[in-house]
Each structure stands twice: as C-alpha cells, then as structure tokens.
Structure 1
C-alpha cells in the first residue's frame, strides 16, 4: 500500500471518527452552546421559550379537565411612582424585557398580554420561581408522612451528602437558604458557581454529585445566603423520601388538581434527576393558577391542595437571619425569606416567587391579587437600573388600580 493510499485511509478514518463523535456528543454540544450563549441579547428570548427542546426534560401532560379563569379585561394603569419619579408602565414592561404579563384579581383575568414571540400556548422557563413549586411539594410530602419534619438533617435522607457542606444541616436551614454552604450566585460572572453549574447541566453531569462537591462556609441557620443548590438538595431529599419522581408527584398533587391548561417540561440531568432549583417550563396562565392557589391559602375549589399551615409558615420569616430589612447583618438580602418564598420590603401580606431575568409570581392574598411576569431582560445584571425595586413599585400600583 503506497503513501497516497495510507493518507486516504487515515483521512477516511478521521472523517468516520468525526461523524461518530458528532453523533455521540451532538446533544451535549447543542446544550453547551445554549448554556454559554443563554443570556445573549439576540438569543435570550428564544432560549427562555425553548430550553426544554434542547435539554433533557420530563413531560407532564395538560390536565384532562382544564380550568379556565373567567375574563374581565381592562387596561393596566398608565404609570407608577418610585422615589418621587413617575414611570410609564408600558415602557417599563418593554425595558425590562417582558415576554408575558398577567393580572388575576378576584379570580378573574383582568389583564393578559404577550410580547417578543411569547404566546398563550408557549412555555417559558421558570428559573427560580420553580423553587416555590418545590416548596409546595415539600409541604404536601410532610403532610402525607413521607418526611417526618423539617428539623431533621438532610443526610438522614441523602447519605451521599455526608462529608459535604450539607453534612449536619437541617432541612429547615436549607428551606430558608441558610445552609452555610459556600456558593457564588453571580450570573454576571462567567466563572461563578452558578454558571459552572449551568455548564455542568449542559453536559448532563449528575446534579447530585455537584451538590455533594460543595463545602461549608458558615454555621448553618445563622446567615441567609441565597444558594440555588440548596433547593437541589431539597429535591434530593424528596426523591429519596417519595416512591415516585418529582415530576410524577407534581403531576398528581398539583398539575392535575389545578386543571393546568398546558403541558409542563421539567429539565433534568442524564441520570433522570430533575433540575429542582428552577427547571420548570410552564405557560403563563398555569403560573397564574399556582399563584392563585397560594393567594387562597392552598385551597382550590373547596379542596385543600397544599396544607394551609405550611403556606403560612412558608411566608413567615421566623429567625433574625431571614427577616425583612435594609441593614440586616445576618442576611445578604433586604428581602425576607421563608420556605423558598420571598417577602418584599414594606410588605403587608404580600410575598412572591422570583426567578432571574425578572420572572415573578407576585401574590397579595388580602387583595385577592396575583401578578405573573415572564421576562428575558439581557440588562438584568445592570444594578444601576434598580430593577427589583421598580418591579415592586409597579406591582403595588397595579394592585391599587384594580382595587379602586
């Protein structure tokens, strides 16, 4: 065999190998590319509306008996006030990258609109709003006896965490984002722990192993520090305690009972563990149903879906480190924190599920108000915009508008 033939054979081998590798790793490459470009201005909207198509995901079908809110549509207020300045509601919705916006008042849809290609039947990534769904599942699991109580240590259910930063940590401390684990949650830092985690998800890496790799920074239960992996650990506890997957439990206990109109996709790793910390892909109206459930203390059409006391406890900060306050030395946030729910500054009885890039389920129970906002704001990390404070000022202006 001459040299030219050898070269041809080598070239053929390289081509065949390249084809085989592309077939084997193509899904990983697509996921990695999506993860790396996730928040880029020209891709963020498409990504947030289609993540479940590029990543592993479990599916829940729409309810066989869908519930539809009655409609009594009327315009939003024209403006809201913040720090003595007036802001246009429509302009703020546009500036903050809104893709979907809905207001439920007294059980009726008062406002519903979609932007940037979002639509009534499209699913949008929850990000950390999904943490509040997991909290609901946790409360149900305790009520049904799968978990004894939140004073137990997570390692009683997940022995794989022995020796990690979660060793000896109570379930309650994890629920309150007070695990004491070291973690950098800066989405603007490419090398942060949360972005390192995102790349691990892209490769299908075991989420359980990632959680077990984290180390202790503080004494558990003494400092409120937002660590998304805390919620992943709660998901690990639930999967060990239940006899079904998180997806199946959500389907049986919440999705079907609430008559969700559209399917749900829950992102997962290559080992079938769901992205408990924020991997839900849900339609805007179905996010609103979950908010309405909590606005009514866990009751849905006369049936108690989530235990009432669990909801009360979930939105009642009960330690110094989780209290609302601008200068709380034991917290990294001015907001209060319950069991995977946020309590904003100057709240009466309001609370919220929040996700990065401006995902919100804002709930004001005594006003029977729920506001849901999906967004894909590429300027999210610009702190000079005071995004959070302005969102809550707008929500409260909307509450007053529909209560007049």
Structure 2
C-alpha cells in the first residue's frame, strides 16, 4: 500500500461541510480497494435525441432553477436514459464519463441484487431463514435469529442511529470500524443489540447492508467484489473497472463502498426497470425484482420508515427506496446526493452523482436535499418523455 493509501475515511472530513469532489472521484487512489474488471463484452449505451434539461423544477410550492440546484449540490454527473438510450449527459467539477464515483448507499441496491442472485443459484436456501444461519453472530445479538427478509427490508429491530449530524451515532461507529477501530466491520455487526421486534419497524440502518454483504460472502464462499464481477459487471457489459472499498480485514464496505462510472451505475436501474432482464437474459429473478421495489407490509409504506429520528415520505423494499405515488418509481439513494432513479411510466433511468458539501451538517432537508432531488428527478423524467 502506498503512502497515499494510508488515508482513512475519517481523513475525508465527511459531514463537516468540507468539499468532497476532489475525493469522491479517486477513492481507489486514496483507500484500499478490490477491483472488478470491465466486461469482456462491453455494452455502450446508444444515443437518442438529445433532450435539454428543464430550466426549472417545482419544489415546496416554488419553481426553482435547475442550474442553481446542480451547482448548489456539487453535482458531478447527470445521465438520463429513456428506453435505454442516452437523452442527456453532463459532467461538472471532477466528474467525467470515465470517472468512478463513490456510491455511498447506492451500493445497498447492488448488494440486494447479489442476494437475489445467490438465492436463485441455491447458495441461500430462503430469505425466510435466519441470517445467523450463514453469518457468525454473538448469541442474543441484534441479528441472531432474524430472517434475511427482515434485514433486506431494514426491519431487523436492531438499535441504530443513522444521524450524520451526531458524531456519537452508530453510523460514525460503523465508519470507525472501516478503519479497524474497535474491530472489523464483521465484529461491529456481530455485537449489535436489539431494540424492536423484527418485522415491525423500518429503521434505515447501514449495519443491515454490512451483514448482507457478509451473507453474500459466506453463502457463496467468495468476496462480494468477485461475485459481483461475475454476476453483474460481466453480463451487464460494464465498460469501466469498478472498485469496492475494503476494511483492514479485506471485507468490502457493502453499505456504501462501491465506485463506478455514471454509465455503469445506470445499468442496475435499467436492469430493474426491465424486470431483471438484460438483452434477453434473466440476470436477477423477476419475482425478486418485483419484491425488491414493493412495500410489502404497512411499516414499509411511505411515511413509515425512519432515518435517524425522522419519518420519511418514502417507502422501502429490498434495499431500494420507493417514492410516494402511483407511478411505481424506485431509487437507490446515497448520502451526498447519489441517485439511481427509475420512473417506469416514462421509461426513464437517471443517475445523479454529487458531493453536496452541506450534506449531514444538519439533519434537515434544507442541507441534505434528498426530497428536493426526488422532485428534480421526477421533473426530468416527465420532461424527457
């Protein structure tokens, strides 16, 4: 490891207001990673008629200028596909068509796809099984005896605080574990404690995805990156290398450590928009896709899930967010405003990669701007159709 790679996540100054666009574009040069090769059979998105972005979008009862929003949220990439063809593509700051950007929690939706493939291949017998049948955990700890389904739906009942504005919160402790402080990521999730009955409360919890990554690794006997390389990168025709950040034990940061280009992030959105089928081949089981983007219980419906102390007007599936409404929209969402948003009605998939420096400096929408981003992406989808 070079001196440069001795940097840690803590050195980035996340959630302090510090600019991040110089970091998110080159995580593979700063931290330990495992590489996934580009596909041997790359798929290049066709280009359709270029559609200009709407000049304004509606949010909170006012028309807001698109250009200002993109600048204020430190946008690095905006890619809009309609029917699988590029209709708009623009890059800012340190973004670019060949730049692998840090996904943050967009990674969670990729991990969910890998769980679905592992179930289909028989590595995992059923998601009704306890996740502790596969992942070593302390008896009586949060995930002991909890079904894989409840973990997928952020409904394990584990005690958790995902408050980016609180340095004592669990998400900060999880980040510390990525540096080996207090043990490895596996150690961290193994000793978490229970707060609620499983399957009753949807509480957004990055620890859930970390244990799902451990599940994929244990069930398949392979590192997450290797399994993803074979099952997603290769068949989806990814055109650039991808990188997973690693903890000191060599475990992938399943909850947010994936680095891909905008073109390659879009592939998961398009795959799910098409029911798990890619160029005539079923990559992810169709039923898994349907279940992944459906709120299958009352506690998963929009308005019920919790992030930190706040209820959010989004539903939740298997590691996918579900905007309220009747259009069947779904989105992978990561902090600092990373989005892979899909609107099936307009057949649109949009990727927004960002480094919103104000993100997490307060718990408020005014700094985090996630609900506003959904409004912006919805406007693009309706405008591009």
Same fold (TM over 0.5): yes
- Out of 66, 77, 88, the position equivalent to 1:89 is 66
2:188 equivalent to 1:210: yes
The match for 2:373 is 391
The match for 1:14 is none
Q: Distance in 2 between matches of 1:327 and 1:164?
A: 22
Instruction: Kindly provide the CA deviation profile for residues 198-234 of structure 1, in whole angstroms up to 9, marking residues without a partner as x.
Output: 1221247411001112111111111010110001111
State the number of aligned residues. Answer: 378
Q: Which has the larger radius of gyration?
A: 1
Q: Distance in 2 between matches of 1:246 and 1:42?
A: 31
Unaligned runs of 5+ in 2: none
The match for 1:7 is none
Structure 2 vs 1, CA of residues 293 and 28 (structure 1 numbering), >3 Å: closer, same or farther? closer
Contact 2:276–2:286 (CA<8 Å) still a contact in 1? yes
Contact 1:34–1:47 (CA<8 Å) still a contact in 2? no
Contact 1:55–1:202 (CA<8 Å) still a contact in 2? no
2:383 equivalent to 1:401: yes
The match for 2:45 is 69
Q: Distance in 2 between matches of 1:253 and 1:28?
A: 29
Q: Distance in 1 between matches of 2:60 and 2:16?
A: 31
Aligned pairs for 1:357-372 within 5 A: 357-372=336-351
The match for 1:308 is 286
**Aligned partner of residue 378 in structure 1, secondary structure:** coil
Instruction: Kindly provide the CA deviation profile for residues 238-289 of structure 1, in whole angstroms up to 9, marking residues without a partner as x.
Output: 2111132211110111101111010001011122211111110111110112
Deviation (angstroms), 1:84 = 2.4
**Aligned partner of residue 79 in structure 2, secondary structure:** strand
Deviation (angstroms), 1:121 = 0.7
The match for 1:150 is 127
Aligned pairs for 1:271-350 within 5 A: 271-325=249-303, 332-350=311-329
Higher helix proportion (structure 1 or 2): 1
Q: Distance in 2 between matches of 1:32 and 1:285?
A: 25
Deviation (angstroms), 1:90 = 1.4
Q: Distance in 1 between matches of 2:18 and 2:301?
A: 39
Q: Distance in 2 between matches of 1:28 and 1:198?
A: 17
Instruction: Kindly provide the CA deviation profile for residues 51-81 of structure 1, in whole angstroms up to 9, marking residues without a partner as x.
Output: 2222221101111221111113231111111
Aligned pairs for 1:14-29 within 5 A: none
Deviation (angstroms), 1:40 = 4.7
| TM-score (norm: length of structure 1) | 0.89
Aligned pairs for 1:150-229 within 5 A: 150-203=127-180, 205-229=183-207
| TM-score (norm: length of structure 2) | 0.93
Q: Distance in 2 between matches of 1:341 and 1:263?
A: 24
Structure 2 vs 1, CA of residues 104 and 203 (structure 1 numbering), >3 Å: closer, same or farther? same
The match for 1:118 is 95
Deviation (angstroms), 1:39 = 4.3
Q: Distance in 1 between matches of 2:189 and 2:83?
A: 41
Instruction: Kindly provide the CA deviation profile for residues 162-213 of structure 1, in whole angstroms up to 9, marking residues without a partner as x.
Output: 3321112111110000111111111121221111221221247411001112
Contact 2:162–2:205 (CA<8 Å) still a contact in 1? yes
The match for 1:51 is 27
Instruction: Kindly provide the CA deviation profile for residues 17-69 of structure 1, in whole angstroms up to 9, marking residues without a partner as x.
Output: xxxxxx99x6785215524x234545411121122222221101111221111
- Out of 353, 359, 374, the position equivalent to 1:374 is 353
Contact 1:260–1:286 (CA<8 Å) still a contact in 2? yes
Q: Distance in 1 between matches of 2:237 and 2:4?
A: 33
Contact 2:15–2:165 (CA<8 Å) still a contact in 1? no
Contact 1:225–1:331 (CA<8 Å) still a contact in 2? no
Structure 2 vs 1, CA of residues 304 and 159 (structure 1 numbering), >3 Å: closer, same or farther? same
Q: Distance in 1 between matches of 2:278 and 2:260?
A: 19
Contact 2:32–2:247 (CA<8 Å) still a contact in 1? yes
Deviation (angstroms), 1:389 = 2.3
Q: Distance in 1 between matches of 2:305 and 2:104?
A: 27
Unaligned runs of 5+ in 1: 1-22
Contact 2:327–2:345 (CA<8 Å) still a contact in 1? no
**Aligned partner of residue 99 in structure 1, secondary structure:** strand
- Out of 227, 240, 252, the position equivalent to 2:218 is 240
